[in-house]
């Protein structure tokens, strides 16, 4: 089908699973972070915002290298896991999942922060004065009014995870069914001079990237969620 080999389909399945898990985790983590960042200004918020945005300017290989050191068998986290009878996270799906969450963090936090800042505190304060609790305020007032921000955050996170390469290659390598995602497989195809297979996968990602950007800009025009 589509001229793709079982190896290609395996990489596609792994990539989609990684993107889905990363997006779901980041929507849960980024929402309270973005709400807190949008709630005021202080040096602590500036510090957290800078840490969140760090993957935007940091070379992926640098982040991947330090994650490999920390999560590997001799790193503080990897060694602790092995002492507990667990496996370290280097060269594993769990490891590249953690790396993807860290590396895609700004693509989830920034659209949500912009949406919350545009919304302001007034709707939540009015709902609170009418007796709505925190959970009720979020699901009944904040979420419907900022749904565009959540859609953009989820779309950008999913798309960015698909295109991750340096971080995953440094931390996970190219293990079939475990860490060999689409971007890494394209590199493997090109390295082995299998340009036809690399072209097919690259064309698929190119079309997908265009569709994602079209959707993001369309929602941005409608909801005015993110400033580009």
Looking at the domain assignment, is residue 39 inside a domain?
A: yes
Looking at the domain assignment, is residue 40 inside a domain?
A: yes
pLDDT tens for each residue of 149-185: 898 899 899 989 998 999 999 999 999 999 999 999 9
Place of tokens 């699901």: 139
pLDDT of amino acid 228 = 44
Looking at the domain assignment, is residue 228 inside a domain?
A: no
What pTM does this model have? 0.89
Looking at the domain assignment, is residue 1 inside a domain?
A: no
Domain count of the fold of the chain: 1
The CATH number that applies at residue 63 is 1.10.3720.10
Which residues have CB under 8 Å from 155's CB, separation 6+?
212, 215, 216, 219
Contact assessment for residue 192 and residue 5, using Cβ atoms and an 8 Å cutoff: no
* CB count in 10 Å sphere of residue 195: 11
Q: pLDDT tier at 223 (50, 70, 90 boundaries)?
A: low
Looking at the domain assignment, is residue 11 inside a domain?
A: yes
Domain hosting 131: range is 6-223
Looking at the domain assignment, is residue 96 inside a domain?
A: yes
Looking at the domain assignment, is residue 36 inside a domain?
A: yes
The answer to whether residue 101 scores a pLDDT higher than 90 is yes
pLDDT tens for each residue of 11-42: 999 999 999 999 999 999 999 999 999 887 78
- Give the span between the Cα atoms of 49 and 66, in whole angstroms: 20
């Amino acid at each position: 089908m589509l001229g793709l080999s079982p190896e290609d389909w395996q990489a596609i399945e792994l990539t989609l699973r990684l993107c889905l898990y990363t997006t779901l985790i980041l929507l849960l983590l980024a929402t309270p972070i973005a709400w807190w960042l949008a709630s005021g200004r202080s040096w602590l918020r500036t510090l957290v915002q800078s840490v969140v945005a760090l993957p935007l300017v940091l070379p992926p290989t640098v982040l991947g290298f330090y994650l490999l050191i920390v999560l590997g068998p001799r790193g503080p986290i990897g060694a602790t896991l092995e002492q507990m009878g667990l496996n370290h996270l280097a060269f594993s799906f769990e490891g590249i999942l953690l790396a993807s969450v860290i590396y895609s963090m700004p693509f989830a936090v920034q659209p949500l922060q912009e949406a919350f800042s545009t919304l302001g505190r007034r709707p939540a304060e009015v709902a609170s004065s009418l007796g709505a609790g925190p959970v009720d305020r979020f699901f009944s007032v904040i979420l419907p009014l900022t749904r565009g921000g959540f859609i953009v955050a989820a779309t950008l996170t999913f798309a960015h995870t698909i295109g991750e390469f340096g971080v995953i290659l440094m931390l996970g390598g190219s293990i079939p069914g475990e860490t060999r995602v689409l971007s890494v497989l394209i590199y493997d195809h090109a390295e082995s001079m299998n340009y036809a297979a690399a072209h097919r996968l690259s064309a698929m990602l190119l079309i997908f990237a265009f569709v994602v950007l079209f959707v993001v800009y369309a929602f941005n025009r409608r909801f005015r969620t993110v400033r580009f």
